[in-house]
Structure 1
Amino acid sequence: MEDTLRDEKIQNEKTEFAKEAHDDKEEYIFQKNSITKKGFFIVIAALVILAVALIASGIAF
């Protein structure tokens, strides 16, 4: 039981939510560009369609 893995602390914990186009950093979740915006709207549209389908199936049955 002596050979257990330890969690190592990340050296740089300054992760930001979105990266600006002019920043040279790697610690970010999203990048502010057109691909991210299109992907966001596609995911939101899919969630709305799923919600409408769930409500419609509940009403129909």
Structure 2
Amino acid sequence: MQIRDKEDNESEDYILQDNKKTRFGTIFIIIILVILITAVAISGFYFEFW
């Protein structure tokens, strides 16, 4: 995976740009995934699946 820098105007084969929207989106998705994994683990213990 490549991240495009602001100074790099030549390469076009990038996936993410290095800007505030990309950082916010990445952090937001990671936080949501952590919350979901925690919720699944807690519900597993609560309903005694484990």
TM range (shorter): 0.7 to 0.9
Alignment root-mean-square deviation, CA: 1.1
Following superposition, which runs of at least 4 residues in structure 1 exceed 3 angstroms of deviation? none
Q: Which residue of 2 aligns with 1:21?
A: 6
Instruction: State the distance in 2 between where 1:17 and 1:42 align.
Output: 20
- Counting only pairs closer than 5 Å after superposition, residues 25-44 of structure 1 correspond to structure 2 as 25-44=11-30
Where relative contact order (Cα < 8 A, 6+ residues apart) is larger, the structure is 2
Q: Which has more radius of gyration?
A: 1
Structure holding more strand per residue: 1
C-alpha displacement of 1:19? 0.3
How many residue pairs get matched? 46
Length-normalised TM-score, structure 2: 0.83
C-alpha displacement of 1:23? 1.2
Instruction: State the distance in 2 between where 1:46 and 1:36 align.
Output: 15
**Structure 2: 5+ residue stretches without partners:** none
Length-normalised TM-score, structure 1: 0.69
